[in-house]
Structure 1
Amino acid sequence: MGRIVLYDQTNFNGNWKQFEYDVPDLAVDMFVKTAKSLKVEGDHWVAYQGNNFTGEFVVYGPGDHDQLGSMNEQIVSLRLVREKLGNPNIVLYQDVNFNGQSRDVEEEVGDLKKGGFPALVSSHRVKEGVWLLYEGVRYTGNRLITFKGDQWANYIQFSWNDKLSSLKPLKSSDFEV
């Protein structure tokens, strides 16, 4: 079980709201783009800058986050990470619709080309865990997050076809990603 408490001031001061469930739009709870600090208990939470879990995001792990940096007064939606974070596994496919060469990945890869994946990636399936996908090598550039059970058949719809360069699983020890 996870819980997140958002505060409208740094260092856990001011008005606050507590959540134990996904929130696709904080405007409904009158707390959109208000948070300046937060506390996480239990499982990780993903804070997004867009409605319905879209846009830029930061993953917050258990603990006290007294300032939010780039997410200061930017949080619009929240998603609780319910997935188990041990034994991560994602299958990458060369072509859309899970075709072409494929490879199971169970650990972070800072450069897919050097990591032995001979072709570009156009689709994936997440078997276990939560994965952060990066457009640049060594976890740089634009990024996406994908969860256990996700099946992205065509990266073209995300403007990501043949752009995935590195990826890593979310770990239970991650404080902020």
Structure 2
Amino acid sequence: MSKIVLYEEPDCRGDWKEFTDSVSNLGTESFAKTARSLKVEGKHWVAYKDKAMKRDFMVYGPGEHNNLGCMDREIMSLRLVKEELGNPEIVLYEHVDFRGEPRSIDERVDNLNTAGFNDLVSSHEVKQGVWILYEHFNQTGRRLITFKGEKCSNYCLFNWNDKLSSLRPLLKSDHEV
């Protein structure tokens, strides 16, 4: 079984709360913007700074995370990563509504420019795994996370049209992303 334990103090100390499934609003659990450290067992978890699993996020793999850095007292929702992290695949499309030239990607790409596809993506479909998409080269800038089965038909809806420059699959070995 996978679980995450949030602690009110650094170094996994103080009052704590354990979760075994996703939580869209930690306020209902009286633990919103409280965590200063955490421990993960089993699969990865995604912690978000907003309710309903939106906005800025951090992915935590198995182990103790004694200091949460930019997520210190910021976590508002949690998502358990239920997807298998082997054999990742995402299909990127040049235009909205999955039109235009498609590109199937199955590994980390630090610079979509080398593939002639930089700043051209307007939609995607995740076939397998969990993917982190970045606005700039070498996994920098604003980012999005997307999961197996998710289809995003129009990047214009969140001001990402023609901005994707790098991406990477979440790996089992990732400790913190």
Q: State the TM-score, normalizing by the size of structure 2.
A: 0.98
Aligned-pair CA distance for 1:33: 0.3
Q: Which whole-Å deviations, capped at 9, do the CAs of 1:50-80 have from their partners, x for residues lacking one? A: 0000110000000000110000000000000
Match of 2:109 in 1: 109
Match of 2:4 in 1: 4
**Structure 2 stretches of 5 or more lacking a match?**
none
- Who is 2:61 aligned against? 61
CA distance in 2, matches of 1:152, 1:59: 20
- Counterpart secondary structure, 2:34: coil
Deviation at 1:118, TM superposition (A): 6.8
Distance, in Å, in 1 between the alignment partners of 2:30 and 2:117 is 46
The alpha-carbon deviation at position 119 of structure 1 amounts to: 6.9
Give, as a single letter, the amino acid of the residue that structure 1 aligns with 2:140.
T
Deviation at 1:12, TM superposition (A): 1.1
Give the corresponding residue for 1:156: 156
AA aligned opposite 1:101 = E
Match of 1:113, SS state, is: helix
Say whether the 8 Å CA contact 2:23–2:79 is kept in structure 1.
yes
Matched residue, 1:39: 39
Secondary structure of residue in 1 paired with 2:114: coil
Structure 1 residue 158, shift from structure 2 partner: 1.2
Are 2:112 and 1:137 equivalent residues in the alignment?
Answer: no
Q: CA deviation at 1:117?
A: 2.9
- TM superposition score normalised by structure 1: 0.98
Q: 1:113 & 1:150 partners in 2: Cα distance?
A: 24
1:17-71 deviation per Cα after TM superposition (whole angstroms, max 9, x unaligned): 0000100000000000000000000000000000000110000000000110000
Contact 1:94 1:119 in 2 (8 A): no
Partner in structure 1 of residue 126 of structure 2:
126
1:6–1:17 Cα contact (<8 Å) kept? yes
Q: Distance in 2 between matches of 1:24 and 1:122?
A: 27
What does residue 23 of structure 2 align with? 23
Partner of 2:173: 173
Question: Secondary structure, in 3 states, of the residue corresponding to 1:117?
Answer: coil
CA gap 1:101/1:72 in 2 versus in 1, 3 angstroms: same
Aligned to 1:50: 50
SS of corresponding position for 1:114: helix
The alpha carbon displacement at 1:115 in A equals 2.9
What percentage of aligned pairs have identical amino acids?
56
| Unpaired runs of at least 5, structure 1 | none
- Look up the match of 1:87: 87
Helix, strand or coil for the counterpart of 2:64?
strand
Matched residue of 1:24: which SS? coil
